[in-house]
Structure 1
Amino acid sequence: MAGSVVVNGELAGSLSAQDRGFTFGDSVFRTLRCEAGRLWFWSRHYAKLAADCARLGLNCPAEATLLADLALLVPTNAAIRITISRGVAARGYACDPTAPVTRVLGLAPLPSYPAHWFSTGAPLRHCDWRWSRQPGLAGLKHGNRLDQVMARREWHDPTLFDGLMRNIDGELVSGVMSNLWLRCGDRLLTPPLVGEGVAGVTRAWVFDWATQQGYAAVEKPLRPEALAQADEVILCNSLAGIVPVAGDGVFIWHNFSLAHRLRQAWLEEAARESIICPTS
Structure 2
Amino acid sequence: MDFPLLFIGGQIAESLPADKQIECGLLETMRGTTGKVPLWPYHRARLERSGRVGGPLLDLIETFLGRCITSLPDRELRLRLRVGSLHGAAYWDLRIEPISAPAGLDRGVTLHLCQTRLPRVETANPGCKELARSRYNRAMQELPSSDLLHDGLLLDEQGCLVETLRCNLLLWHGGQWFTPDLSHCGVRGVMRDWLSERVPIVETALGLENLAEAEEVAVCNSVRAVLPVRALAGSNSWQPGPHTHRLQNLVTEELW
TM bin, normalised by shorter chain, reads 0.7 to 0.9
Which position in structure 2 is the counterpart of 1:80?
79
Give structure 1 regions of 4+ aligned residues with deviation exceeding 4 angstroms.
13-17, 72-75, 135-138
State the identity as a percent: 27
Could you say what secondary structure the match of 1:218 adopts? Answer: strand
Contact 2:22 2:85 in 1 (8 A): no
TM-superposed CA distance for 1:198, in Å, is 0.1
Give the TM-score taking structure 1 as reference length: 0.79
1:195 aligns with 2:196: no
Q: Which has the higher Rg, Structure 1 or Structure 2? A: 1
Partner AA of 1:267 in structure 2: T
Seen in structure 2, the aligned counterparts of structure 1 residues 133 and 111 have a Cα distance that, compared at 3 Å, is farther
Partner AA of 1:140 in structure 2: C
Could you say what secondary structure the match of 2:129 adopts? Answer: coil
Matched length: 248
Gaps of 5+ in 1: 90-99, 212-216, 272-280
Equivalence map 1:23-62=2 (5 Å) = 23=21, 25-52=23-50, 54=51, 57-60=52-55, 61-62=57-58
Which position in structure 2 is the counterpart of 1:8?
9
Partners of 1:82 and 1:159 in 2: CA distance: 20
TM-superposed CA distance for 1:45, in Å, is 2.0
Seen in structure 2, the aligned counterparts of structure 1 residues 108 and 166 have a Cα distance that, compared at 3 Å, is same
Could you say what secondary structure the match of 2:106 adopts? Answer: helix
TM-superposed CA distance for 1:66, in Å, is 3.4
Contact 1:5 1:106 in 2 (8 A): yes
TM-superposed CA distance for 1:146, in Å, is 1.3
Partners of 1:9 and 1:189 in 2: CA distance: 40
The structure with the greater share of residues assigned to strand is: 2
Which position in structure 2 is the counterpart of 1:240?
224
Partners of 2:97 and 2:77 in 1: CA distance: 6
1:268 aligns with 2:256: no
Contact 2:143 2:150 in 1 (8 A): no
TM-superposed CA distance for 1:58, in Å, is 3.1
Contact 1:80 1:108 in 2 (8 A): yes
Give the TM-score taking structure 2 as reference length: 0.85
Q: Could you tell me which of 92, 98, 113 is aligned with 1:126?
A: 113
1:149 aligns with 2:145: no
Partner AA of 1:239 in structure 2: V
Partner AA of 2:9 in structure 1: N
TM-superposed CA distance for 1:200, in Å, is 0.4
Which position in structure 1 is the counterpart of 2:211?
227
Please provide the CA RMSD for this pair: 2.5
